[in-house]
Amino acid sequence: MRKLFKSGQAEDTAKNEQELKNLLKDIENVHKELEETRRIFCEVSDPEVIDHIILKIYATEEKYRYLLKQARKLKLKGPISLRTSGINFHEEV
């Protein structure tokens, strides 16, 4: 019985680690998407495209905030856990 318990803990740990890796990758991807969208905003001049880009920036910022909240729920420590992804965890968008 004890062996099964330890095996279950190992599976839970592996699952949590994979979820963490996925979350960090999602945060990194959304951060890059936000930077790219902001860069495009600075380059466009057509009013309709500008409106579209503004909405995309807003939606991407909301997605970024959501992912950061999820990371906080997992009690991630920004400067340590996100250092390798180049994201400032405490960044306000």
For the chain, which residues make up each domain, given as ranges?
2-85
Contacting residues for 19 by C-beta, under 8 A, at least 6 apart: 74
| Mean pLDDT along residues 28-55 | 96
Whether the predicted model's global pTM rises above the 0.75 cut: no
Confidence label for 71 from pLDDT (cuts 50, 70 and 90): confident
Q: Which residue has the higher pLDDT, 32 or 6?
A: 32
Q: How far is CA 74 from the centre of its chain?
A: 13
